[in-house]
Amino acid sequence: YNQIQEELKVNKSESIQQVAVYVNEGFLSIKEKRDYIVKEVSLQAIDEQIQTLQKLLKDETVKKQKKVEEKKKVEEQKKVEEQKKVEEQKKVEEQKKVEEKKKVEEQKKVEEQKKVEEQKQVETAKKLEQGTHEKATTTDHNEKSSE
């Protein structure tokens, strides 16, 4: 291209001018193809970068999703453990109530038994007292009758 340009300065013939036109067109064609190839290479590099970024984005999304799922799992496990604790506490309280009720019933039975025993003792004492009183009265009557 440069050689033809130099030749045109010196020699202004028609044939050289035609050769210059062909060389110029060829040069422009080559330049356009080179620009196209540079653009293609740039686009290819951009595509590769996009793919890399998409992969990174996907990986990060998966990581975040795993973290969210793990967090949900941990929270669910905490809920289950808390529920178990509550149920266990309810069982313990229920057991305490049952034991307390048994104690109260046992105490009532003991008190009832004491009352029955006391009643028996009172009745026995009354019978003894009546018996003694009757003996004394009978003895008194016998003594009075003898006199």
Grouping H, G, I as helix, E, B as strand and the rest as coil, residue 12 is: coil
Average pLDDT, the chain: 87
C-beta of residue 1 within 8 angstroms of C-beta of residue 27: yes
Q: What is the DSSP letter of 77?
A: H
Better-scored residue on pLDDT, 13 or 72: 72
Q: What's the rounded Cα separation, in Å, for the pair 69 and 38? A: 46
C-beta of residue 1 within 8 angstroms of C-beta of residue 10: no
- The secondary structure of 47-106 as a DSSP string is HHHHHHHHHHHHHHHHHHHHHHHHHHHHHHHHHHHHHHHHHHHHHHHHHHHHHHHHHHHH
> Could you read off the pLDDT of 16-57 as tens digits, one per residue?
777 878 888 988 999 999 999 999 999 999 999 999 999 999
Count CA atoms within 13 Å of residue 49 on its CB side. 6
Task: Write down the pLDDT at residue 33.
Answer: 96
Task: Write down the pLDDT at residue 3.
Answer: 79
62-66 mean pLDDT? 97
Write down the pTM of the prediction: 0.42
Percent of the chain at pLDDT > 90 equals: 60
C-beta of residue 17 within 8 angstroms of C-beta of residue 25: no
**For residue 108, what pLDDT band results from cuts at 50, 70 and 90?**
very high
**Which residues, 6 or more positions from 24, have their beta carbon under 8 angstroms from its beta carbon?**
1
> Could you read off the pLDDT of 109-137 as tens digits, one per residue?
999 999 989 888 888 888 887 776 555 55
